[in-house]
Amino acid sequence: MEQTHVDAVIVGAGFAGLYATHRLRNVQGLSVQCFEAASGPGGVWYWNRYPGARCDFESIHYSYTFDEDLQREWRWSERYAAQPEILAYLEHVADRFDLRRSYRFNTRITSVAWDDDNAHWVVGADDGTVITARFFINAAGAFSVSKRNDFPGQDDFRGTVLHTSRWPAEGVDLAGKRVAVIGTGSTGIQVIQTIAGQVAELTVFQRTANFACPLGNRPLTDEEFGQAVAEYPRLREESRTCLAGAPYPRAVRPALMDAPEERSKVYDQYYNGGGFRMLASTYFDLIFNPVANETAAEYIRERIRERVQDPEVAELLCPTDHPYGTKRATFESNYYETFNLPHVRLVDARTTPIARITENGIATMAGQYEFDVIVLATGFDVGGAGLTQMGVAGRGGRKLTDHWGHGQRAYLGMATHGFPNLFHINGPQSAAALFNNPVAIEDSVDFVGNIITYLDTHGHTTTEATGAAEDRYNELVREVADVTLFPKATTWYMGDNIPGKPRTPLSLFTGAPMYRTICAEVEATGYAGFSVDGDDRPLPNTIKLDGSAVFFLAGMMNMGAKPLEECSLEETRAAMESFKLMQLPVPPDVSITDTTYPIQGGERTARLYRPPVDGPLPVVVFIHGGGWIGGSLDSFDEPCATLAKRAGVLVVSPDYRLAPEHPFPAAVDDTLAVLRWAAEHIAEHGGDPARIAVGGESAGANLAAVAALRARDEGGPRLLAQILVTPPTDPLADNESRRTFARGPIITAELGARMTALYLGDPVHVTSPLVAPARAQDLSGLPPALVITMEVDPLRDEAEDYARALSQAGVPTVCRRFDGLFHTAFSLSAAIPRATEIQEAIRAFLAPLLSAEAATATATVG
Ligand code: FAD
Ligand code: NAP
């Protein structure tokens, strides 16, 4: 080794380390020193040489994208390459980009300590080397520490014990041997199906049955390869916009929307097609809706029962203790048929756990088995174990193991508070569990490369995650996990496979596009959530959102939904209607009927929602949202029915005229018209005309506020309350929330301006109080108001300003802000469980105002 100080030390020569070396050294011109414990490059593909090892994303996707020529020249032989071919590919990459010269192989990093005074890392290796570096790049891999010593007596065994991740390079002759395989995860399945034909006896110890679906491997034809090469730029670009980081068809429907026969056809198509499509391309709700999930789970169990002849064995192979997809998806090629072979037996290691390894084999609670070879396919201490084994100590000598005492965490999966200039590639809490790894790795390395460039070009020395960003990101990762079914399984995704490891989600379960969006936002905002030379940058907006909101937005991205501001009018309306799929079922005991109300020159529909409550009911005329240009009675069925049920009120929802076909003041006139109709006719429908409130959401809340003004000024009707959920109150408002959330989520400045322009028709109306109630001269005498705002909403501040103005004018006003939620959360009750909190806030506000006694009192005073 020539240098004793470099810009960056890189540990690992897998996909991550090799690309990091190329990017930092060849592209950015930094000095690097790289270390690898193995004798050559390859990472997991160097170590995991067990029979049957291969990738389960197609090789044309499970490979680098950064160099177009590399993509064209490397001819994959199979759809899913086997380990030797992937290893050869990575060796080729190392040579092609001249990476080996930066590596010290056969060298293990054993100490990593931050030197505060000199602002660099001091890195020690097992050969005595000590080197200092400004940056430490952890490319040590999430699967580099294997779980090898689970069973007492392992050393007593007279035969051979092999862990799959340390399979001898020269291979092992298993012919004629009695072989045990412990473990039926991705690795165990690949080993079992591959060696079954070679061995004399095969005994599989299964603790948890897995949902294995066909891999669909076969030779890659010239035509397929040629097509992939021709389409590479598109395929790679698309990969980055798809859930799993590979360009698979997008799941755009919920499972229960299809009839059972239709669903079976969809499952047939993707099960038989092979690979991750069964999870990624069938139905979008499989990973969060247990009923939807069970349809896929049962489908897979049926296939297992068809394929395994002995019904008892088949049942044992059928997973029943976790939802499909909540343990890492596994894939197989004739795995199930293996259990039809006479020399293959399955041992249930759950009901009869392995007690110990003996001299001759394995002792379970139920009996003894004799073997020549025991294969441990027991997995890995997944996540940051490779790094913690290096004994990392950060600022002030703080140990990483202490910092991670309650669970491994890293801001964006890349940076850790208190550990400056240390970057993880695909670290804990990155999105890597659901993101085709080479692509995820490239993104992560590029992010790190960019932040180093940023530091250098701005004359900065150090950066790390702020404590606040790491904490909030960690919470977000947990909140997202809690929206999904992942925590329902015992899985390495949650750290469960290592006794004593704190249970924590090791990945952000949103899929690739949302993760990439967050990272892009962090970059675009000058590294939000990072501390740069001690200057703490604020949190990025997206991670302020509640996990359910992030998961919803991620779902939209995974479906390939266009941002609303890029949609045509028709597309915008269709998108708004599709939000209905994100609502809870309408409460069945709320009766829903349509009637009509008159408007000038015609009539419109009003939909009535009546809860199962006797007596003349208080009435809420509720105006749906949709930016004055969209939304419908149908799209607000659930919020209106839920409001009716929860608050015990008769809800009247008018189908008012929409812009641009009917610009201002059509909607304003219609909402006043429906209020007047209610005052005159609602008794015929079981409502109490003396107890009417008006309310609305978004544009509907704007119309409700305007209707309250007009009812005051234009002769009634008398209203007892106004409920304004996220109201726009002044198109020309200029305030912090408009600036902070100008890029959304959901409503962007551009979209808001477009909707307003369509609504106004003639821009001259923009300052009219009937468009901008905040501009009304006088707000006194208006009914008591509940103003509900969302923290992450460009319209937040104008709504809160309006609430303050109402209050100052003497209007009893309650303003309630919902932290972590975005515009439209109210009408997304299935996606955003906290929508019920909004409903509850409305109920609590209305209850005293709309009680029979209050109405009498108001009438007396009035
Ligand atoms: P690794 O490939 O693990 O490389 C890390 C390297 O760091 C190792 O070589 C290790 O020796 C070295 N190292 C660790 N600690 C030290 C130290 N202290 N000093 C020196 N060197 C050290 N992902 C997918 O997306 N699709 C797949 O199909 C897929 N198949 C997989 C199959 C197997 C068998 C396994 C185990 C994992 C698979 N993965 C798959 C996940 C896989 O980890 C990634 O795809 C990818 O290979 C990770 O690359 P990496 O460079 O981050 O880590
Ligand atoms: P794994 O998924 O963690 O599976 C380990 C298996 O060993 C499980 O069946 C586990 O049972 C069992 N096991 C562990 N300890 C045991 C014990 N003490 N007694 C009995 N059984 C025990 O590990 P893996 O199969 O090596 O896969 C790890 C990850 O590597 C995969 O999830 C995947 O990400 C990647 N991988 C991918 C491929 C591919 O196809 N591309 C191949 C291999 C690996 P329980 O489930 O009950 O804990």
As a dihedral over the C-alpha atoms of residue 608, residue 613, residue 616, residue 621, rounded to 10 degrees, the angle is -30
Is the CB of 141 within 6 Å of ligand 1? Answer: yes
DSSP H/E element including 596: strand 591-599
- Check whether 855 has a pLDDT greater than 80: no
pLDDT value for 684: 97
Nearest to 451 by CA among 381, 360, 534, 520: 520
326-372 pLDDT per residue, tens = 999 999 999 999 999 999 999 999 999 999 999 999 999 899 999 99
Is the CB of 180 within 6 Å of ligand 1? Answer: no
Nearest to 34 by CA among 46, 24, 44: 24
Percent of the chain at pLDDT exceeding 90: 97
CB 802 within 8 A of CB 773: yes
CB 607 within 8 A of CB 593: yes
Q: Which of 87, 109, 144, 389 to mutate to test the pocket of ligand 1 (most atoms within 8 A of CB)?
A: 144
Give Cβ neighbours of residue 117 (< 8 Å, ≥ 6 apart): none
Q: What is the mean pLDDT of residues 577-601?
A: 95
3-state DSSP: the chain helix, strand, coil percent, rounded to 5? 40, 20, 40
Going by alpha carbons, the residue nearest to atom 6 of ligand 2 is 183
Q: Which two tokens stand for residue 224?
A: 């397929």
Give Cβ neighbours of residue 209 (< 8 Å, ≥ 6 apart): 184, 316, 317, 318, 319, 320
Q: What is the mean pLDDT of residues 464-479?
A: 98
697-753 pLDDT per residue, tens = 999 999 999 999 999 999 989 999 999 999 999 999 999 999 999 999 989 999 999
CB 362 within 8 A of CB 369: yes
Is the CB of 527 within 6 Å of ligand 1? Answer: no
- Check whether 478 has a pLDDT greater than 60: yes
- In angstroms, how far apart are the furthest CA atoms of the chain? 98
Q: Residue 314 C-alpha to ligand 2 middle, in angstroms? A: 20
Ligand 1 atom at minimal distance to the Cα of residue 440? 25
Q: Residue 557 C-alpha to ligand 2 middle, in angstroms? A: 30
DSSP per residue, 706-718 = HHHHHHHHTT---
Q: Which two tokens stand for residue 339?
A: 């259990």
> What CA–CA distance (Å, rounded) separates 360 from 373?
10
> What CA–CA distance (Å, rounded) separates 707 from 236?
52
Q: What is the mean pLDDT of residues 791-804?
A: 98
> What CA–CA distance (Å, rounded) separates 323 from 295?
10
> What CA–CA distance (Å, rounded) separates 720 from 647?
15
Strand partners, 10: 34, 137
One-letter amino acid of 609 = Y
> What CA–CA distance (Å, rounded) separates 171 from 309?
32
Is the CB of 426 within 6 Å of ligand 1? Answer: yes
CB 136 within 8 A of CB 122: no
pLDDT value for 150: 82
645-684 pLDDT per residue, tens = 999 999 999 999 999 999 999 999 999 999 999 999 999 9
Q: Which two tokens stand for residue 510?
A: 């949103």
One-letter amino acid of 381 = D
CB 400 within 8 A of CB 392: yes
